[in-house]
Amino acid sequence: MPETKPVLMQGNVACAEGAINAGVRFYAGYPITPSTEVAERMAARLPDLGGVFIQMEDEIASMAAVIGASIGGMRTLTATSGPGFSLKQENLGYAIMAEIPCVVVNVQRMGPSTGAPTAPAQGDVMQARWGTHGDHPIIAFSPASVYEAYYLTVAAVNLSQKIRQPIVMLLDEVIGHMREKVLIPETGRLMVEKSSDKVPADWKPYDDKGVTPLVPFGFGHYYHVTGLFHDQYGFPTTDPPQVARSLDRIHEKLDKYRDEIVLTNYIGHKEPRVAIVTYGCTVRSARAVVKKAYWQNRKEVGLLSLQTIWPFPEQEIKALAKQADVILVPEMNMGQIVGEIERHVRGEAEVVPVNRYDGEMITPDEISEAVGRWLS
């Protein structure tokens, strides 16, 4: 990848710029702290690119407008924070069911409710998984740096388009508001495949055989889009085998493209006794710990950071549990991903939560202390 310009950029802005580089030309949103800079950057940039920026009347409408524009063939993005993410859930479920691509950025603030709008937290992990009703698949990426915010957004936009699945970018306030260096290629370099109206004659919008490209409205393919269970052409059905098939197909595509979806990164000792698993800004504190413990002192410590938190990287966790005696799980919440880890570790290793929920980041010292306790 030709990385050309080094720039100092804020995490929220990196989401906006990454999206633009991956071809997003439509943004609908509603102001909310701490995500507003995404909207502001889009409002400044999209008009010059011939794109659409629209500030909608509310969060629900923003999500709806994004889906509408995607059906029109545009690449789309919206951004919000906790309360707004709650409001977006119904239409997010619609996009999953109707298989309409779009990317939803949630810059987490501390909740529940209005909570602490400017305090960092990672309390929306389970909401990202189960916020909308019904048995749905979800993809959520969680960047740990501004660089990752940029490139995971690029990946989200392209992947969302490819498999026709909405993708959540789960940032936290620290990553959203932090400024860091990013190397970015020229605008437009990172877009994979444009949507096209040229499709085979037997094209079906919801083909039983697997994902087909979305053919935008207005090109003479008169299919139906609905949130109801539907057949291969999108028409409502209550026929039990078709209903089950409809649900299976939206889950199967995540299995099929798992290698492109599930992104993790491991650093540290090859055979760690103590492994740290975390995501988002907490990765930064954990990395500092591993640097000191492993790189300087050759301790048997490692860090698995999860860029993808949903679908859950269960294979990676299972493999880690075979080596490590202890898995430490620092999170800025009361313990959310830790339950998922326990579920997959199945007692093969000790799973220990390290939580903080006072609106402050978990420090390297806090993690280091826990590591020390288990190493000795």
Interface contacts to other proteins, rule CB under 8 A: 26, 28, 47-48, 50, 52, 54, 56-58, 60-62, 64-74, 76, 90-91, 94, 216-228, 235-236
HSE on the CB side for 96, CA within 13 Å? Answer: 28
Closer of 63 and 324 to other proteins (Cβ): 63
- If the CB atoms of residues 197 and 207 are measured against other proteins, the closer one turns out to be 197
Structure tokens at 61: 């409408």
- Residue closer to other proteins by CB (options 138, 171) is 138
Task: Give least dist CB 49 to other proteins, A.
Answer: 9
Which among 310, 303, 212 is positioned nearest to 261, based on CA atoms? 310
The answer to whether 163 touches 155, Cβ cutoff 8 Å, is no
Minimum distance of other proteins from residue 199's CB (angstroms): 14
From 59, 188, 193, 75, select the one nearest 131 (Cα to Cα).
59
Rounded CA-CA distance 285/263 in Å is 20
Q: Positive or negative, the Cα torsion across 226, 230, 231, 237? A: negative
Q: In which residue are the tokens 């994004």 written?
A: 66
Closer Cβ to other proteins, 26 or 310, answer by number? 26
CB of 89 to other proteins, least distance (A): 11
- Which residue, 75, 69, 63, is CA-closest to 161? 75
CB-nearer residue toward other proteins: 94 or 150: 94
Contact at 8 Å (CB) between 56 and 31?
Answer: no
Nearer to other proteins, 214 or 289 (CB): 214
Closest separation between CB of residue 218 and other proteins, Å? 5
Report in angstroms how near the CB of residue 90 gets to other proteins at its nearest: 6
Host H or E run for residue 172: strand 167-172
Instruction: Write down the least CB distance from residue 62 to other proteins, Å.
Output: 8
